[in-house]
């Protein structure tokens, strides 16, 4: 009983103190599960209509570069997303390519790059240089090369906020990402303590998975809280744990198998190869590779990155020297357990898992609402706050 009361005290106070923040973290996570679909709903991309063979990616890149320069966006990265379905346009992001927008500290980092200051090793996937630069997304017909539309590279404001809050707590990556990691640990603590408090006594198992029709008041909110928690428990714990891994990848060995820092190249006097040549080089290193994206670097000492899918859901990369065309590294960790944490967290394991992850992001708001209501009802009835609600209700039923 003492251990049970200890779990209840931890569960109650973590929920009361961090509940609203965890609820917002969960809701923003739910938005991000379907962020592409929501972005297209809020700002529908154009469709390509020209039939025929697609143009070389290098020509697409030149067209995008000219279109961006005409709108005052020059320099920075260029990321070409290769269409996967018929009728899709080529999406090219130029300048600040991150859909999250410029996070705090990125402009300062960009100035340090341009001024030749000391540069720390950059984590794989981070925006290299040009931090704070204005970004543009350009849609191009893959066959005719016609520019179909342009828009800001960032997602709509509500999704940009969701990315920045859920990923970095509206702070710089160095400060905000650990905070998100600790909030993930709080989620795990709530899940474990909630399971202990849910565990039914002998003869009560048939009531542990549902809300009885006769439940009212304090009992209704307790049963709704508990039943929701147990039905979503496995997914909730998986999403919370994977979020902690994403926040602290180095702690869980994610810096293995080739490292996480981007290699540098020696700039040459020759003209860099284009996107088409980079894909051909990548296909030579990875037989059967179907390129999903090509990222041309912002600085002359950076490699070209060709992104592809491995293992059905894992994003992998081939890094190519832009001057020699030599493959520098293949980043494929699809066989690693830890590499599956991002697909688990983002719902990339099929439509059913995607929907379950979406629901998991919404349940913290329900937990907070029902938890606060139970706290107020116990306070109104002068019941001891240090005792689990189920124990209090059981005593009342026996009286």
Give residue 101's pLDDT. 61
Rg, the chain, Cα only = 25
Indicate the angle between helix axes 2-33 and 157-168, nearest 10 degrees.
Answer: 140
Give residue 123's pLDDT. 35
Whether 20 and 368 have beta carbons less than 8 Å apart is answered as yes
Whether 63 and 140 have beta carbons less than 8 Å apart is answered as yes
d(CA 141, CA 230): 49
Largest separation between any pair of C-alpha atoms in the chain? 88
Give residue 398's pLDDT. 60
Give residue 118's pLDDT. 36
Tokens 């893959």 found at: 142
Rounded to two decimals, what is the model's pTM?
0.83
Give residue 312's pLDDT. 65
Q: Helices (H), strands (E): how many in the chain?
A: 12, 8
CA angle 250, 170, 111 (to 5 degrees): 80
Tokens 């009802």 found at: 377
> Quick one: which of 256, 277, 383 has its CA closest to 332?
256
Tokens at residue 304, please?
């070209």
Q: Where are the domains of the chain?
A: 2-33+165-254+347-398, 44-155+258-335
Residues with pLDDT less than 50, the chain: 107-133, 256-259
d(CA 240, CA 235): 8
Tokens 């020059």 found at: 74
Give residue 329's pLDDT. 94
DSSP 141: -
d(CA 241, CA 251): 13
Across 237-256, b (16+ Cβ under 10 Å) vs e yields bbbbbbbbbbbbbeebebee
Whether 101 and 169 have beta carbons less than 8 Å apart is answered as no
Tokens at residue 217, please?
């008041």
Tokens 């191009």 found at: 140
d(CA 96, CA 288): 31
> Quick one: which of 280, 275, 281 has its CA closest to 293?
275
């Amino acid at each position: 009983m003492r251990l049970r009361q200890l779990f209840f005290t931890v569960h109650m106070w973590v929920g009361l103190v961090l509940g609203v923040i965890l609820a917002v973290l969960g809701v923003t996570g739910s938005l991000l599960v379907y962020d592409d679909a929501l972005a297209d709903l809020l700002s529908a991309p154009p469709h390509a209509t020209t039939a025929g063979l697609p143009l070389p990616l290098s020509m697409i890149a030149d067209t995008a570069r000219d279109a961006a320069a005409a709108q005052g966006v020059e320099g920075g990265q260029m990321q070409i997303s290769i269409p996967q379905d018929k009728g899709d346009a080529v999406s090219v992001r130029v300048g600040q390519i991150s859909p999250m927008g410029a996070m705090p500290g990125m402009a300062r980092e960009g100035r340090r790059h341009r001024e030749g200051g000391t540069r720390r090793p950059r984590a794989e996937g981070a925006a290299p240089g040009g931090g704070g630069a204005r970004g543009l997304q350009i849609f191009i017909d893959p066959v005719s090369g016609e520019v179909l539309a342009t828009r800001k590279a960032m997602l709509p404001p509500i999704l940009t906020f969701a990315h920045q809050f859920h990923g970095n707590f509206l702070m710089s990556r160095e400060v905000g990402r650990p905070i998100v990691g600790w909030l993930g640990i709080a989620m795990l603590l709530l899940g474990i303590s909630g399971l202990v408090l849910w565990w039914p006594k002998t003869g009560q198992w048939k009531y542990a998975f549902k809300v009885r029709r006769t439940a009212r008041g304090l009992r209704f909110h307790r049963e709704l809280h508990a039943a929701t928690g147990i039905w979503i428990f496995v997914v909730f714990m998986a999403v919370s744990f994977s979020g902690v891994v994403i926040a602290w990848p180095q702690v869980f060995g994610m810096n293995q198998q080739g490292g996480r820092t981007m290699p540098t190249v020696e700039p040459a006097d020759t003209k860099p190869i284009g996107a088409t040549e980079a894909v051909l080089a990548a296909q030579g290193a990875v037989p059967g590779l179907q390129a999903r994206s090509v990222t041309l670097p912002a600085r002359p000492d950076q490699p070209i990155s060709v992104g592809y899918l491995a293992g059905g859901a894992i994003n992998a990369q081939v890094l190519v020297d832009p001057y020699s065309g030599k493959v520098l590294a293949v980043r494929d960790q699809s066989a690693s357990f830890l590499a599956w944490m991002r697909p688990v967290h983002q719902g990339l394991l099929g439509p059913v898992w995607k929907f379950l992850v979406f629901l998991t992001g919404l349940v913290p708001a329900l937990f907070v609402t029902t938890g606060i209501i139970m706290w107020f009802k116990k306070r109104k009835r002068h019941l001891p706050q240090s005792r689990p609600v189920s124990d209090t209700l059981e005593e009342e039923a026996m009286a």
